[in-house]
Amino acid sequence: MNKYIPVIGLEVHCELKSNSKNFSTAKNDEGEANTNLSVVDIGYPGILPVVNKEAVRKSLMVALALNCEIPKRLSFDRKNYYYPDLPKGYQITQFGNPIGTKGYVMINVDGVEKKITIQDTHLEEDTANMDHLSNYSLIDYNRAGVPLLETVTDPCINSSKEAIAYLEALRNIFLYLGVSDARADLGQIRVDVNVSLKREKDSELGTRVEMKNINSFTTVKEAIDVEIKRQTDILEAGGVIEQETRRYDEVNKCTHFMRGKVDAIDYKYYREPNIPEITLTDNFINSIKKVMPVLEYERKIKYTNEYGISTVDAGTLTKNKKLSDYFEDIISYGASPKDTSNIIVGFLLGYLNKNNKNISDIDITASDFSDIIKMMTDGKISNKQVKDIFTKSLDENINLLEVAKSIGTQISDKEEIRRIINEVFKENTKVIEDYKNGKNVNGFIMGLVMKKTGGKVNPGITNMVLKEELEKL
């Protein structure tokens, strides 16, 4: 049997946040259908598009975060085609001088790092939004002209897992930069997937099949896996892959033929004559570099290097921007970063997962959170008590600090602990026998003391006193 290597290239469209549209003064806002549009967006004769500087700035941030080469000059081109959602009959995009080229993103799949190379990222405008009903369609022009950034990878992705890792890393770039909410469920981020297969010894890539406009990452993964299987079956049976566009059917988990794809559709690209070339000065680019927000990998490095958090935990914290922001907030109130991380990763995430909740559902203030962590760090309450406090607070929706007061603090008084240990000795004479016969019973007795006190004793002190008491026997 031939072993085929999947080859995948992704084209990701992301709507950028901005006050106005990419080339007009209409608001970039969903709002009530057909209320946010201008003559520019719907292509009246004689219109003059004006480039949105904010959209350029945000696109440049992304290009820089993607380690792209930035051109000296920006220009815009017309991509001509007809479709009802494109009232002008052409889309203004970037063909000749995209805002970023030859970039890369690092991903990590099962502990293996890989560089995903970026062909280019270019700024264009979104089309109108269409709703196809039984025998008619509705069109909403609010989306027409919304700034859209398209980022295209090289065909260098080799599995659906890598594809998802790349998509998540890219989405986090958008989120960390704050240029888009990148919500796939709202169509703010949409993916075109290209898949082909090749054998190890082949020097050329196989024929690719394209699946357009998939708007959930889970579906991207499924579509890739299903398409790899379909192509493998065809090749194994001695068939050939046709270059075509296919649609992924989420219900039946298969792809359907949509249309054949000729090598390059002739869009008759030409320079948009109403937009002059824009020179990107070093000053302008530097002013953006200066205000670039911290990215996921930068936070991850800070967490491991400065806070001593493990790479795995730092990865977990930074993968979710909301979680990472919350963590930053908590430690800004003085809590130990490492102890905070231990409670979040070692307890809170599990709790949320078990209760089908996510971090946005939590309304514990960062300041209260920090106070509890400080009490733990100072030895006033144990790790177990912290977990109990959080559980009760979250389960019963009671303020965290109130729960903490009612649960009481840790027992760290040496004599009190000595008394408890001796009680445990009296209640468990068999263990004492074992000890006298040379058996190691420390762990077992610690467990009994913990059980007796509901985990309230300070473990360090208890251990010490226990050793003293055992020696006395």
Q: Which residues bind ligand ADP (CB under 6 A)?
A: 7-11, 152-155, 194-196, 205-206, 208
- Least distance from C-beta 127 to ligand ADP, angstroms? 16
User: Tell me, what amino acid is at 96?
Assistant: G
DSSP assigned state of 10: E
Going through 351-426 in order, the beta strands assigned E by DSSP cover: none
Q: Tell me the pairing of strands 189-199 and 73-74.
A: unpaired
- Count helices and strands in the chain by DSSP H and E runs: 16, 15
- Least distance from C-beta 378 to ligand ADP, angstroms? 54
- Least distance from C-beta 98 to ligand ADP, angstroms? 11
Residue indicated by tokens 């901005």: 18
Cβ closest to ligand ADP, residue 166 vs residue 327: 166
As a whole number of angstroms, the distance between CA 107 and CA 114 comes to 5
Neighbours of 280 (CB within 10 A): 17
- Least distance from C-beta 22 to ligand ADP, angstroms? 20
Cβ closest to ligand ADP, residue 152 vs residue 349: 152
Sign of the alpha-carbon torsion through 445, 447, 450, 451: negative
> Is the CB of residue 117 less than 8 Å from the CB of residue 153?
yes
Cβ closest to ligand ADP, residue 161 vs residue 418: 161
Cβ closest to ligand ADP, residue 11 vs residue 181: 11
> Is the CB of residue 454 less than 8 Å from the CB of residue 392?
no
> Is 388 in a helix, a strand, or coil?
helix
- Least distance from C-beta 103 to ligand ADP, angstroms? 13
Residue indicated by tokens 């074992």: 434
Q: Tell me the pairing of strands 100-109 and 147-153.
A: unpaired
Cβ closest to ligand ADP, residue 205 vs residue 312: 205
The angle, 0 to 180 degrees and rounded to 10, between the axes of the packed helices 321-332 and 311-319 is: 110
Cβ closest to ligand ADP, residue 95 vs residue 369: 95
> Is the CB of residue 313 less than 8 Å from the CB of residue 114?
no
- Least distance from C-beta 209 to ligand ADP, angstroms? 8
- Least distance from C-beta 409 to ligand ADP, angstroms? 58
Residue of this chain nearest to ligand ADP (CB atom): 9
Q: Tell me the pairing of strands 4-15 and 147-153.
A: antiparallel
What is the token pair recorded at 30?
Answer: 């969903």
- Least distance from C-beta 207 to ligand ADP, angstroms? 7
- Least distance from C-beta 208 to ligand ADP, angstroms? 4
> Is the CB of residue 114 less than 8 Å from the CB of residue 83?
no
As a whole number of angstroms, the distance between CA 111 and CA 168 comes to 16
Cα–chain-centroid distance for residue 345?
Answer: 17
Cβ closest to ligand ADP, residue 191 vs residue 314: 191
- Least distance from C-beta 69 to ligand ADP, angstroms? 17
Cβ closest to ligand ADP, residue 156 vs residue 448: 156
Half-sphere exposure of 230 (CA within 13 A, CB side): 19
Cβ closest to ligand ADP, residue 152 vs residue 432: 152
Cβ closest to ligand ADP, residue 107 vs residue 466: 107
User: Tell me, what amino acid is at 314?
Assistant: A
